[in-house]
Structure 1
Amino acid sequence: MALVTGTPTVVNETSTHCPSAREDAGTGFLPVIMIIEIIVGLPGNIIALWIFLFRMKFWKPHIIFLLNLVLADLLLLISVPFRIHTHMQGEYWVFGEVWCRINLFMLAVNRSSSIAFMTVVALDRYFKVIHPHHWISKMTMTHAAWLAGLTWVAVIALRIPLLTTNLLHQDGNISQCRSFNFYKVIPPEVMVHYVAFVAEFFLPWFLLLFSSARIACYLNQQKQKEMQKRVRRAIRAVAVISLVFTVCFMPSVITGLVGLSIKYLYPTECEIYQRSTQLFMTCISFTYLNSASDPFIYFYSSSMFRNILRRSNLESTIFTSEM
């Protein structure tokens, strides 16, 4: 058994059809990517939080959703340093089993809540333009707060299995902390995590594509310049959300599905399987980009946020750091 900070650790030793794939100790470029993401994402989200909490005088429902997107990013910024340390140690997790569960739970909740609130913001823009008289377009602040609260409850409930499962695995003399591993038989709790990982991408992604297409069609039908301007703002906001969504979350989903397909369709092709899992672990780092990219969503989704940023002379600062 591996020793973690001098204390014996119970490690999940579930075996697989192929040896585990991992980076050479400390030589991977993933720590560099994640460090850059923190350096870029942290100031942008701190400025956004400051604007929402201390400079926003008039609140609307979509502002509540954007604020919750900032809160979701904070979960990532707290959790990623532990993943950076682990990658720099060659996948060796030294923080114990309990924190392994909590760390992976926080990362998963960040991903799920970010997806949820991005989708809600995009749909809010869609209904405001396409269905202005729908009850969703007339949502009150109270309704928005309830929706945000229920979203957090659903996201946390969906990820609870990560807290009830031992996710610390033994690979030779290395203790690895991963929510995605190389099981022969996937435990039910982990299977829930796998299904959620895929479903929470594709369902919102199709909604975003549909919203973008409908707003674009609606724009072509408009004759009044003022209405065209309003619709263009909406389609720009939805397009930015769709772009961030696709770049951050699609690579890991696609490579994850490819890895699972190779595992079950070609169980003896260990080299190909290991390469696919290494690619998957690399693509997971794109997930963390949502924290660095979300300030663009705040900027293009809220004219109030944009105006406050400009009046505060922070626009060049935040977007220079994002580039």
Structure 2
Amino acid sequence: TATMSFLWFQNFFGIQLEGVILPPVLTIDVILGLLGNMVALWIFCFKLKAWNPNNLFLFNLVIADFFALVSLPLRIDALLRGYWVFGDGLCRINLFLMFSNRSASIALMTVVAIYRYFKVVHPHHCFNRMTKRQAAYVSVFVWLLVISPRVPMLAYSHIKGRANSTQCFFFTSYKEASRGIIILVGMHRILTVLEFIIPLAMLLFCSIRISSFLKERQMGKKDKVRKAMHVCAAIVTVFMVCFLPTTVTTIGVWVIRSYRPWDCTAFYTFTQLTIVSFGLNFLNSALDPIVYVFSSSMFRKALCSSLPRTLCCGRGNETPESTSGTQSTSQDELKSMRASRGSEAM
């Protein structure tokens, strides 16, 4: 029939397009991600003298990125070969790690933003007295929250085809898919949308409140206020660049299949856009080290102390207060706030 012919055409050319676009994109993601996260892991394990809840959350983000990075080489190999050779078990694990990384990265970035929000905007809140043990409990809760909906993926086979046409895909043929797979696909689409929209709203709220709070009180120098605002904007921008395309294409495929099942052209277009967004989805693993530098003064100082002095631009011009290893950024900001309040009272 015409529908079957179109599905064959779509699957054939979709796989070919993936083989052209995704291998170089994913290879760049792996190389940059491994370099950045290996440096970050080295800093966390061997150079960081003291730990706080923020650094513990960032360390978990490093672990989440490594889960994705170790799974991508198998996907790159399958795309270059044109078929999957690693068997059913590794296919399930591969898909599980890739989808879990997206959820874990989003969740942990949101936790870091919320932690920073309370530190800056509500410095006396009980949330800021969180211990390292409590932060570890929060991290475990986040992992359980993001992994639990993905565990059912491990219970079903996602291998399609035979011999040199074997494919490991989560979203292949819907006609011959079992009811369990159809439910999993529906759950994945719902999670993809919700785990982007809700954290994005929280990130925007935290970023705007931090920026307005610092700007209104003019804590420290104006350039520091401007830098804090730029950092917040950069985090939101990275979040949207990496995860927005996947969310939009997922919604597009969902809407077309539900309300315009006869519109094969639109469905094929969104399928191809999903292929492109798949590569951007893992770019966050390469960009997360930037978040570590901006979000943790302790990490930044440990990194600068490990680099040649010439690479740490402006380090020599910093004041003693800004280079002290015993005070965090939030503590400096709190001191500035108290000082400004004291001068106003006088």
CA deviations over 1:239-295 (Å, ceiling 9, x no partner): 332122111111011012112222222222223312210110111110110110011
Q: Alpha carbons of 1:42 and 1:207: their partners in 2 closer, same or farther (altered >3 Å)?
A: same
Question: For 1:105 and 1:252, how far apart are their aligned partners in 2?
Answer: 17
Q: Secondary structure of 2:166's partner?
A: strand
Percent identity, aligned pairs only, is 41
Correspondent of 1:156 among 141, 147, 155: 147
Matched residue, 2:120: 129
Q: State the AA in 2 paired with 1:116.
A: A
Correspondent of 1:260 among 222, 243, 254: 254
Measured after TM superposition, the shift of residue 210 of structure 1 is: 1.1
**Are the counterparts in 2 of residues 109 and 159 from structure 1 also a CA contact under 8 Å?**
yes
Q: State the AA in 2 paired with 1:302.
A: S
Question: For 2:30 and 2:310, how far apart are their aligned partners in 1?
Answer: 19
| Cα RMSD after superposing both structures | 2.6
Question: For 1:240 and 1:207, how far apart are their aligned partners in 2?
Answer: 15
Q: Secondary structure of 1:129's partner?
A: helix
Alignment coverage as a number of residue pairs: 302
Question: For 1:37 and 1:253, how far apart are their aligned partners in 2?
Answer: 19
Q: State the AA in 2 paired with 1:196.
A: L
Question: For 1:238 and 1:251, how far apart are their aligned partners in 2?
Answer: 20
Q: Alpha carbons of 1:53 and 1:173: their partners in 2 closer, same or farther (altered >3 Å)?
A: closer
Q: Secondary structure of 1:300's partner?
A: helix
1:176 counterpart = 2:167? yes
Q: Secondary structure of 2:160's partner?
A: strand
Matched residue, 1:88: 80
1:167 counterpart = 2:161? no
Measured after TM superposition, the shift of residue 173 of structure 1 is: 6.9
**Are the counterparts in 2 of residues 61 and 141 from structure 1 also a CA contact under 8 Å?**
yes
Question: For 2:243 and 2:56, how far apart are their aligned partners in 1?
Answer: 23
Q: Alpha carbons of 1:224 and 1:163: their partners in 2 closer, same or farther (altered >3 Å)?
A: closer
Matched residue, 1:18: 7
CA deviations over 1:156-196 (Å, ceiling 9, x no partner): 21211111122223499732212233425762233222211
**Are the counterparts in 1 of residues 189 and 251 from structure 2 also a CA contact under 8 Å?**
no
Q: State the AA in 1 paired with 2:95.
A: L
**Are the counterparts in 1 of residues 110 and 199 from structure 2 also a CA contact under 8 Å?**
yes
Question: For 1:79 and 1:107, how far apart are their aligned partners in 2?
Answer: 7
Matched residue, 1:213: 208
Q: State the AA in 2 paired with 1:35.
A: T
Q: Secondary structure of 2:153's partner?
A: helix
Task: Map residues 33-112 of structure 1 onto 2, 5 A cutoff.
Answer: 33-90=25-82, 92-112=83-103
Q: Secondary structure of 1:23's partner?
A: helix
Measured after TM superposition, the shift of residue 309 of structure 1 is: 1.2
Question: For 2:225 and 2:173, how far apart are their aligned partners in 1?
Answer: 47
Matched residue, 2:290: 296
Measured after TM superposition, the shift of residue 315 of structure 1 is: 9.6
**Are the counterparts in 2 of residues 129 and 234 from structure 1 also a CA contact under 8 Å?**
no
Question: For 2:207 and 2:153, how far apart are their aligned partners in 1?
Answer: 34
Kindly indicate which of the two structures has a greater share of residues assigned to helix. 2
Task: Map residues 274-289 of structure 1 onto 2, 5 A cutoff.
Answer: 274-289=268-283
Question: For 1:16 and 1:129, how far apart are their aligned partners in 2?
Answer: 59
Q: State the AA in 1 paired with 2:23.
A: P
Question: For 1:35 and 1:315, how far apart are their aligned partners in 2?
Answer: 32
Is there any run of 5+ residues in structure 1 with no aligned partner, and where?
Answer: 1-14, 319-323
**Are the counterparts in 2 of residues 130 and 215 from structure 1 also a CA contact under 8 Å?**
yes
TM-score, structure 2 as length reference: 0.80
Structure with bigger gyration radius: 2
CA deviations over 1:184-209 (Å, ceiling 9, x no partner): 57622332222112211111011011
Q: Secondary structure of 1:58's partner?
A: coil
Q: Alpha carbons of 1:224 and 1:248: their partners in 2 closer, same or farther (altered >3 Å)?
A: closer
Matched residue, 1:11: none
Question: For 1:141 and 1:52, how far apart are their aligned partners in 2?
Answer: 15
Matched residue, 1:119: 110
Q: Alpha carbons of 1:258 and 1:189: their partners in 2 closer, same or farther (altered >3 Å)?
A: closer
Q: State the AA in 2 paired with 1:169.
A: K
1:201 counterpart = 2:196? yes
Question: For 1:300 and 1:89, how far apart are their aligned partners in 2?
Answer: 40
Q: Alpha carbons of 1:317 and 1:195: their partners in 2 closer, same or farther (altered >3 Å)?
A: farther
Q: 192-201 vs 31-40, which deviates more?
A: 192-201
Q: Secondary structure of 1:28's partner?
A: helix
Matched residue, 2:327: none
